[in-house]
Structure formats: structure tokens, C-alpha cells
């Protein structure tokens, strides 16, 4: 038994957090007079709306309708000081609504990040540039915004202190390894689950609180189930009870108490929070006035990073922004329902949206292609704007989420392509697209656009940009060989590649700075790949999220000596990623590539193929090829030589290679 005192990781704290779980006295509510209920609802809405509409630097709040027997209502407040939370508690108790509730459970804590990673410690110790990507990410952990996700899961937890498995008795390095490995699981759920870790040592009976947000609760279940098998959970974690519920707009308090359907705070046709926007249509105004206060009954009738433990400041964690609202509304309400169908049509098209032929080509310019982003005959809206793509994407998320309620909606997305920003919305019918166009042109900077049929029914028969048509054939061919073949510009991994003539000594410090700026849950890796047979090297940056990759593309401009970007120029390019070779086979792999390269040099349409090696890991490589045309590349993928090479590769590669096709 060691008597040595273990090192505690440094921590940084942000906002104080109160989880306040309430049970409603339904018997008293049902017996109360209508006047008493009206007053309770009015004061309750006033309190909840004031709590949820504070300035960004003053915190945030949310209201949750709880499921199950552990409570009916959960209020979650984040504020800069404990005094602020104390004020909120006392203000609520002075409302008429509070007399109908009983506190079932509360949890007091503070947002926290701990320094198990070196970069996390640099932030905590003040050694990072305030404008760096990691510093911005860390501040978002300490001062989080509540994401627009419908479901909430909260539970407290401890780190185990058993004689056999004592977390606090492990050496610092071993704990850091556990945290890093645990975070790897969380990163697989990026875009599905968002988490908030709060520390409660000295504040509550449990050591940490974990709050998870998701549109689909099965994503939370899958995440926690998978994490149960990680040693940091199976050996070193103890979990308290779980509370789950659905977020709702404070203005719907009367609906909650009446047992009526609820809307989320962002569930309106403009894609913005409902209480911040005027009604968009007369039907909306009528719906706003239509909530009655005479109902009764239980509203639940049928009618680091990671969630487990200390929040590692430098690690990955479940996070994402895929928004969705799944609340049903009355038929007369303009909010979409989960029943599908199409939006009600408007009378006419705006003159600012011109009908064109050749929509396939217009979509290709925006980076969307048939067979990859849509299938068959589709009615398309394409708007080109001067707005920043990342900012526009944030504005569009809520609107696209509402569109998803209609079974005629294909996709609505923001794309940055060729230095331009495009907003694209695809529908199965032209009248549904016509209705959607009114909401889209309400967005700032979205004024003029084009519309028309795309896909198999595109009348002009125009060919799509080089490197797009027929990529599905290539993916199918590779799939036959058990090789993952992603969509152009990425699928589960999004790749940014620039080629530079600068020497490695100049590239290394730049890439190191980029890694620091990029560090976060969406960043897979950024590395220098050297071509030993050329004076050109490549800087490759891989991302789990397309929007994050687009946002990072500007940062790659800092790479010195850039001569071109992947995908530029004529011809057809393929890029094989994740060729991780087993160390014992590295020399054999390089020799075999040389043999294959000699064969490629004799093939019609082949321009060049290079094997580039990760400057930090000689066993990590990627293969870049350039061809005159797609069909030339297909000829190689169909060949016996390629098939035999793939069979051999299964023995020497440590992972399945992924291919990215570039126009």
C-alpha cells in the first residue's frame, strides 16, 4: 500500500449550475379555481421567460418536462455566482406556481474542466493565446450555451474509492490515460450527443453532475452503454439516479399543466426561438392566443471529454449541433408536425428566384451531386450569398430541422465551394419548395436565387462537373474489395489537403500551431505528409464534421509555400487515406507500391501517383493519384492488378483504408 500523495489535476471553473427537480401537486392543481390557476400560469411564465432570456454573459436557463415518477418539472440555471442562483430560487418560491410544486431533488455544482492533458493545463495556467481555437473551445466548456436539442438526461456520479479500485490512488499518468481512452468513445457520438460536466465536490453529495442533450434518446443510451465497458467506468465509476425529460418553451407552461402537446424553445417556422419572433402568419397568431388555462391532468398521459467523470480540458467529448424538434402541434398551427406531408403552398413564386434549366450543373457548383446528396428527380432552390458560411449555417439549422418534419423535404444545407457560399434546399415537389422559399428568403443576406428540377429529369441534359458523375460506381467497385470509399469531399471523415513546396522545417511549426488551434471534438488530426520522391509535401487536416472542416479551411492559408489545393485543376483525382501499415510490413509495403507505380505509369490516362508519409509516424501514409478522366481511374479499379493488391493489403494494413474522391 502506497503512502505517496497523488497529484490532483488543475481545474478551471466557470458558471455555477442548479438542477431543480419539482413534483407538481396535481390534486391541489385540479381543485384550484380557474382564477388561481391563471395567476399561477401567468407568474410562472413570467419567471421562466425572464430566466431563459438573460444576456449571453449572464448565464443560461432551460425548462424540462420530466418523464417517469422522479418528477414533473426540472429547471436548470447557469449563472456567474451562487448569489445569482440563490436569487433565482427565492424568486421562484415567491410565484403562485411554486405553491403547487414540491422540490423532489436539487443538485448544485459548477462547470468544470480539468487539466489531464498538457494543452488543457496550458489553458488553465494561462499559457494559451486567448484567440486560439483551444482557448475558445475551453471557454465554451466553462460558459456553455444550452444546445437546441429536445431531450435532456441528467445524473450524478462519483469516482470509486474501493480498496481494489480506487481512482484517487492511481498515478496521475494512469488516470490521464483512462480519460483519454474514455474520450475516444465520446468522439464517436459527435453531432448526436452534447454534454455538460459540472463539479460538485464540496457542494453536493455526489462529486460530479453530467447533463446530456440529444434529439434521439437512444443515442444517449448507446453512448452510455458503450462507455460502461470502458475501464474508467467499469472499474472506477459509481452512478446515481437518472432523470430524463423533454425541453419545452416556457410560454407552453399552460400546455404542460393541461396535458397538451409542447413546443421546444426553438420550434417555430422561422428557425428562431419562438418567444423572440412575432407570429409569421395569421395562423401562428391564432395559435398563440389559443392556449387555454382550463385544462387539468397529468402532462405525461398518452393524450473529456465524456459523460463519466472529470471533464478533461484537452480531450474529446460527445458534442454536436445537429438540431431537431419533434413536437406535434395542432393542425391549424403553422409549426410542422411529425406526421409528414408537405407545407401549405403559397400563391406564387418570388420574382427574385429565377427558374432555370441545367439545375444539375448549378447544384454541382454548390458541391451537391446526384447519387450522393439526392436521388432521382428533385426540385431545387439554390441561393448564392456573400454571408460567411459558418454563420449562415447556424441560422439555417433550426429552419432545416423544421423542414425535416415534412416527408417531401430532401435536404437543406449551407455549402462553401469555390470561394462562394451557397444555401441549397431540395424538395420532392415544386409547391413544397415554393413554400420553403418564403422562409429561406427571410434570412439575412439571402435575396436572389434559382429554382428548377434536378436529377434524372433535368431537361437540358448538361453534364456535371468533372469528378462527380459516376463516383458511386467507383465506391461500389471499392466496396466489392472491402475498401471503404467515402463520398466526394468526405463522408464520415472530411479532408482538407494543401500541397506546399516549403521544406519540412518550415511546415512543422505551422502545423503544430494549427493543431493547437484545431484541438476539439470534431478535429481528427492534422499532419505533414512528405513525398520522398518530390520536393512537394502535403498538409492534411481531417475532420469529423463538414462545417468544422469548412471553418478550418481558411486557417490552412497560413501554410507556407502552398502551390495548390487538392481537387484543383482539370482531370480526376483520387486520394487514399488511412493506409496505416503494420510496422513489420512497412518496407515491403513501400516496395510493393513502387511496383504498382510502375504498372500505373504504363496505363492510359494515368498522370501521376505518389505515396506520402506522415512526418510524425512513418507507418501512416496516403496515396494521391491523378488521372485524365474518371473512366481511366475506373479501368484501374476494375483490374486484376488492383484486386490482387487489395488482397495483399489486408495482411499488411492495420486498418481499413478510406478513399476520398476529389473533383
Q: Are residues 391 and 450 in the same domain?
A: yes
The total domain count for the chain is: 3
Q: Which of 16, 116, 137, 155 is catalytic?
A: 155
Which of 289, 306, 332 is the last residue before a domain boundary?
Answer: 289
Q: Would strands 658-662 and 484-485 be described as parallel, antiparallel, or unpaired?
A: parallel
The pLDDT value given to residue 219: 93
Peptide bond into 305 cis (omega under 30): yes
Q: Is residue 465 part of a domain?
A: no
DSSP codes of every residue in 443-479: STT---EEEEEEGGG-TT-PPPPTTTTTHHHHHHHHH
pLDDT tens sequence across 479-495:
444 443 333 333 456 77
Q: Are residues 524 and 428 in the same domain?
A: no
Q: Are residues 443 and 482 in the same domain?
A: no
pLDDT tens sequence across 14-38:
999 999 999 999 999 999 999 999 9
Q: Predicted confidence band at 578 (pLDDT cuts at 50, 70, 90)?
A: low
Q: Is residue 327 part of a domain?
A: no
The pLDDT value given to residue 655: 66
The pLDDT value given to residue 558: 80
Q: Are residues 182 and 220 in the same domain?
A: yes
Quick one: DSSP state of residue 92? H
Distance CA 444, CA 440 (A): 9
pLDDT tens sequence across 63-100:
999 999 999 999 999 999 999 999 999 999 999 999 99
The pLDDT value given to residue 384: 92
Q: Are residues 624 and 534 in the same domain?
A: yes
Q: Are residues 363 and 505 in the same domain?
A: no
Q: Is residue 345 part of a domain?
A: no
Q: For residue 233, which phi and psi values (nearest 5 degrees)?
A: -95, -50
Distance CA 561, CA 498 (A): 10
Q: Are residues 429 and 499 in the same domain?
A: no
Q: 552 or 384, which is more confident?
A: 384
Mean residue pLDDT of the chain comes to 77
CATH of residue 73's domain is 3.30.70.1030
Nearest 10 degrees: CA dihedral of 342, 344, 349, 354?
-20
Given a cut of 90, is residue 213 above it in pLDDT?
yes
Q: Predicted confidence band at 636 (pLDDT cuts at 50, 70, 90)?
A: confident
The pLDDT value given to residue 370: 78
Q: Are residues 499 and 407 in the same domain?
A: no
The pLDDT value given to residue 570: 64
Q: Is residue 344 part of a domain?
A: no
Determine the 3-state secondary structure of 581 from DSSP.
strand
The predicted model scores a pTM of 0.46
Residue 316: closest CA among 144, 467, 508, 524: 524
The pLDDT value given to residue 329: 32
Candidate from 139-148, 236-245, 567-576 with smallest mean pLDDT? 567-576
Would you call 189 a catalytic residue per the annotation?
no
- Percentage of the chain modeled with pLDDT above 90: 32
Given a cut of 70, is residue 658 above it in pLDDT?
no
Which of 244, 263, 289 is the last residue before a domain boundary?
Answer: 289
Q: Are residues 521 and 426 in the same domain?
A: no
Highest mean pLDDT among 124-128, 183-187, 380-384, 468-472 belongs to 380-384
The pLDDT value given to residue 306: 44
Q: Are residues 447 and 479 in the same domain?
A: no
Q: Is residue 330 part of a domain?
A: no
CATH of residue 628's domain is 3.30.70.100
* Contact by Cβ (8 Å): 408, 465: no
Q: Are residues 376 and 504 in the same domain?
A: no
Q: Would strands 484-485 and 537-543 be described as parallel, antiparallel, or unpaired?
A: unpaired
* Contact by Cβ (8 Å): 485, 491: no
Q: Is residue 621 part of a domain?
A: yes
Q: Is residue 313 part of a domain?
A: no
Which of 457, 488, 503 is the last residue before a domain boundary?
Answer: 457
Q: Are residues 453 and 557 in the same domain?
A: no
Q: Is residue 338 part of a domain?
A: no
Q: 440 or 462, which is more confident?
A: 440
* Contact by Cβ (8 Å): 209, 200: yes
Residue 405: closest CA among 437, 432, 442, 424: 432
Distance CA 524, CA 522 (A): 6
Structural domain containing residue 15: 11-289
The pLDDT value given to residue 435: 80
Amino acid at each position: 500500500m502506497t503512502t505517496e500523495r497523488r497529484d490532483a489535476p488543475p481545474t478551471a471553473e466557470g458558471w455555477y449550475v442548479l438542477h431543480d427537480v419539482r413534483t407538481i401537486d396535481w390534486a391541489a392543481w385540479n381543485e384550484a379555481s380557474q382564477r388561481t390557476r391563471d395567476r399561477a400560469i401567468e407568474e410562472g411564465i413570467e419567471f421562466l421567460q425572464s430566466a431563459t432570456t438573460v444576456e449571453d454573459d449572464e448565464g443560461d436557463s432551460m425548462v424540462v418536462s420530466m418523464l417517469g415518477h422522479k418528477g414533473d418539472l426540472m429547471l436548470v440555471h447557469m449563472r456567474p455566482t451562487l448569489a445569482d442562483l440563490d436569487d433565482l430560487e427565492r424568486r421562484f418560491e415567491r410565484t403562485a406556481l411554486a405553491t403547487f410544486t414540491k422540490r423532489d431533488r436539487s443538485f448544485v455544482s459548477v462547470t468544470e474542466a480539468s487539466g489531464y492533458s498538457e494543452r488543457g493545463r496550458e489553458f488553465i495556467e494561462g499559457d494559451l493565446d486567448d484567440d486560439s481555437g483551444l482557448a475558445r473551445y475551453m471557454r465554451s466548456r466553462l460558459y456553455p450555451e444550452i444546445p437546441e436539442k429536445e431531450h435532456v438526461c441528467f445524473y450524478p456520479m462519483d469516482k470509486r474509492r474501493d480498496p481494489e479500485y480506487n481512482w484517487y490512488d492511481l498515478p496521475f499518468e494512469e488516470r490521464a490515460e483512462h480519460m483519454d481512452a474514455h474520450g475516444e468513445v465520446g468522439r464517436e457520438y459527435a453531432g448526436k450527443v452534447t454534454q455538460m460536466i459540472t463539479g460538485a465536490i464540496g457542494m453536493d453529495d455526489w462529486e460530479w453532475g453530467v447533463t446530456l442533450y440529444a434529439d434521439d434518446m437512444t443515442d444517449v443510451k448507446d453512448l452510455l452503454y458503450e462507455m460502461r465497458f470502458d475501464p474508467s467506468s467499469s472499474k472506477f465509476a459509481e452512478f446515481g439516479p437518472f432523470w430524463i425529460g423533454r425541453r419545452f418553451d416556457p410560454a407552453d407552461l399552460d400546455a404542460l399543466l393541461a396535458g397538451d402537446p409542447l413546443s421546444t424553445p426553438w420550434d417555430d417556422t422561422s428557425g428562431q426561438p419562438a418567444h423572440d419572433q412575432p407570429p409569421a402568419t395569421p395562423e401562428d397568431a391564432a395559435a398563440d392566443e389559443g392556449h387555454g388555462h382550463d385544462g387539468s391532468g397529468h402532462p405525461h398521459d398518452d393524450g473529456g471529454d465524456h459523460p463519466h467523470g472529470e471533464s478533461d480540458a484537452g480531450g474529446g467529448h460527445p458534442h454536436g449541433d445537429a438540431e431537431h424538434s419533434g413536437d406535434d402541434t395542432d393542425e391549424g398551427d403553422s409549426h410542422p408536425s411529425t406526421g409528414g406531408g408537405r407545407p401549405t403552398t403559397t400563391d406564387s413564386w418570388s420574382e427574385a428566384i429565377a427558374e432555370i434549366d441545367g439545375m444539375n450543373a448549378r447544384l454541382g457548383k454548390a458541391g451537391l451531386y446526384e447519387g450522393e446528396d439526392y436521388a432521382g428527380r428533385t426540385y431545387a432552390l439554390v441561393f448564392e450569398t456573400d454571408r460567411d458560411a459558418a454563420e449562415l449555417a447556424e441560422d439555417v439549422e433550426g429552419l432545416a430541422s423544421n423542414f425535416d418534419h415534412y416527408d417531401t423535404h430532401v435536404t437543406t444545407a449551407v455549402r462553401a465551394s469555390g470561394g462562394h457560399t451557397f444555401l441549397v434546399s431540395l424538395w420532392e415537389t415544386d409547391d413544397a419548395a415554393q413554400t420553403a422559399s418564403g422562409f429561406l428568403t427571410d434570412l439575412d443576406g439571402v435575396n436572389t436565387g434559382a429554382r428548377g428540377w434536378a436529377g434524372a429529369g433535368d431537361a437540358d441534359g448538361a453534364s456535371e462537373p468533372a469528378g462527380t458523375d459516376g463516383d458511386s460506381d467507383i465506391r461500389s467497385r471499392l466496396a466489392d474489395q472491402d475498401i471503404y470509399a467515402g463520398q466526394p469531399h468526405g463522408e464520415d471523415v472530411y479532408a482538407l489537403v494543401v500541397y506546399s513546396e516549403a521544406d519540412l522545417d518550415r511546415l512543422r511549426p505551422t502545423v503544430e500551431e494549427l493543431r493547437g488551434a484545431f484541438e476539439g471534438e470534431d478535429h481528427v488530426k492534422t499532419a505533414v505528409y512528405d513525398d520522398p520522391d518530390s520536393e512537394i509535401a502535403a498538409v492534411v487536416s481531417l475532420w469529423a464534421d463538414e462545417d468544422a472542416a469548412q471553418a478550418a479551411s481558411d486557417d490552412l492559408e497560413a501554410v507556407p509555400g502552398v502551390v495548390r489545393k487538392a481537387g484543383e485543376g482539370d482531370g480526376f483525382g483520387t486520394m487514399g487515406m488511412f493506409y496505416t501499415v503494420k510496422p513489420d510490413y512497412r518496407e515491403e509495403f513501400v516496395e510493393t507500391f513502387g511496383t504498382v507505380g510502375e504498372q500505373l505509369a504504363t496505363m492510359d490516362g494515368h498522370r501521376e501517383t505518389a505515396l506520402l508519409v506522415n512526418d510524425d509516424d512513418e507507418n501512416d501514409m496516403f496515396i494521391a493519384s491523378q488521372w485524365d478522366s474518371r473512366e481511366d481511374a475506373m479501368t484501374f479499379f476494375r483490374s486484376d492488378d488492383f484486386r490482387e493488391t487489395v488482397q495483399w493489403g489486408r495482411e499488411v494494413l492495420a486498418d481499413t483504408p478510406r478513399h476520398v474522391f476529389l473533383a
